[in-house]
Amino acid sequence: MYCGRDHISDPVVMGDAANLWVPSGLVTGTLALHLYSPALPVPAGVDCVVAHGRHMSAPPWVRLRQTNPPRAFATAQGVRCVVPERALLDAWRFAAPSARRSLLYEALWARACSWRQLAGELRRTPRVPARGDLERTLAWFAAGATSPLEVRARRDVFTGQKFCEFEWQARLVVDSRTAVADMLHRAAKVVVELDGAQFHQLPTTWRADRVRDVDLAAAGYMTIRFGWDDITRRPGWCRKRLHDVLSSRSARPTST
């Protein structure tokens, strides 16, 4: 089997080649995640799982992982892969420790699988590196966090004494309507929304967000919006700007 030089790095070609090379194996890890959710990065190589006891010499572009046979498999873009939650758990397992958390957030953000699916796979898997860190991250979702962006903001960005007075997923009533804020500082009347680009840029959602922002402003609330790139690429800027807003709101003269 051959492919043109221009297609050597194509993820589907790499997956098909791995399936052809070892028909009893399954693609897993970051390539499987990309095949399930193409918004995720394309890896340079292929992680492939096969049953214990196989003696094989893998080509340089394949990382062979011998393990117990996966409990299930699926097809992603025509490539036989482990199920998404197993692919994400394997990606966590194979990644460098410093890269694991970002990989996890991005895969959940891209909806490669749900946090509940991943938690179930984790319970079924006895040996996972940095298991405690993964369990603590998933616990944020179990405690009520609604998105990977919120977990990242709560765990990694808006931490410490400066932000301890914020309520998360807080309900407030404005003009007889109930709104739920991702973050709410009731005393300073500051609302923080953590926006997902794909969802919040839809025209109907964008208009609903604007209407809600105006209604909150009329009730004296300031709304600040941070997106995925803000939280992940410039967390220090997010912390400083939110702290500056709180300071300015707290310094306002009290009306009589």
Domain boundary among 98, 117, 143: 143
**177 lies in some domain:** yes
What pLDDT sits at residue 200? Answer: 39
**Model pLDDT, residue 199:** 41
Domain assignment present for residue 59? The answer is: yes
Q: Do 32 and 127 fall into the same domain?
A: yes
Same domain membership, residue 161 and residue 121: no
The reported pLDDT for the residue numbered 184 is: 97
Which residue, 94, 115, 143, sits at the end of a domain? Answer: 143
How far is the C-alpha of 143 from the C-alpha of 231, rounded, in Å? 21
Residues 173 and 227 in one domain: yes
Total of domains in the chain: 2
Domain shared by 46 and 86, yes or no: yes
d(CA 38, CA 117): 19
- What is the distance between the alpha carbons of residues 123 and 146, in angstroms, rounded to a whole number? 21
- Residue 230 in domain: yes
134 and 162 assigned to the same domain: no
Q: Which of 96, 115, 143 is the last residue of a domain?
A: 143
Q: Are residues 122 and 59 located together in one domain of the fold?
A: yes
What is the rounded distance in angstroms from the CA atom of residue 206 to the CA atom of residue 194? Answer: 13
Q: Is 149 inside a domain boundary?
A: no
Q: What is the CATH number of the domain that holds 231?
A: 3.40.960.10
Q: Are residues 37 and 138 in the same domain?
A: yes
Whether residue 2 contacts residue 13, with contact meaning beta carbons closer than 8 Å, is answered with no
* pLDDT per residue as tens digits for the range 39-87: 999 998 899 999 887 677 888 888 988 887 787 899 999 999 999 999 9
**What is the span of the domain harbouring residue 90?**
5-143
Regarding whether 181 and 127 lie in a shared domain, the answer is: no
Please give the C-alpha separations between residue 193 and each of 122, 206, 248, in angstroms, as whole numbers: 30, 13, 19
Q: Does 215 fall in a domain?
A: yes
What pLDDT is stored for residue 157 in this prediction?
96
In order, the DSSP letters of 81-148 are: EE-HHHHHHHHHHHS-GGGHHHHHHHHHHTTSS-HHHHHHHHHH-S--TTHHHHHHHHHHHHTT--SH
Shared domain for 246 and 164, answered yes or no, is: yes
Based on the domain organization, do 121 and 237 belong to the same domain? no
Start-end of H helices in the chain: 11-21, 29-36, 84-94, 100-109, 115-124, 131-142, 148-152, 197-200, 203-218, 228-233, 235-250
Question: In which residue ranges of the chain is pLDDT below 50?
Answer: 198-202, 256
**What interhelical angle do 100-109 and 84-94 show, nearest 10?**
160
Are 57 and 91 contained in the same domain? yes
At residue 10, what are phi and psi to the nearest 5 degrees?
-65, 130
8-state DSSP, 242? H
Q: Is residue 148 part of a domain?
A: no
Q: Are residues 123 and 197 in the same domain?
A: no
